[in-house]
Amino acid sequence: MREPENCKLIYCGFSNPRTKEEIEFEILGLETLVKQAEEKIATLKQTKFLAEIALNKNASNLKEIFVEEK
């Protein structure tokens, strides 16, 4: 396994919100960031699922795991 990197998710917000509007904007930015993280997690889970199926079927490529039913 490779050595992990320091990964960062970037969002638009305030590092030290001071007003009600800044706090609300910071919350919205963080909620957006959470959704982006959830999307990345879902994509990784989907990739893992396909990889596990490919391994279980000893497939050499993804086309081999998608068989049309007739």
**What tens digit of pLDDT does each residue of 2-17 get?**
999 999 889 999 999 9
Predicted local distance difference test score (pLDDT) of residue 59: 85
Burial 26-65 (b: 16+ CB within 10 A, else e): beebeeeeeeeeeeeeeeeeeeeeeeeeeeeeeeeeeeee
Domain boundaries, given as residue ranges, for the chain? 43-70
In this predicted model, what pLDDT tens digit does every residue of 15-64 receive, in sequence order? 999 999 999 999 999 999 999 999 999 999 999 999 898 899 888 877 88
| Reported pTM | 0.75
Per-residue model confidence (pLDDT) at position 19: 98
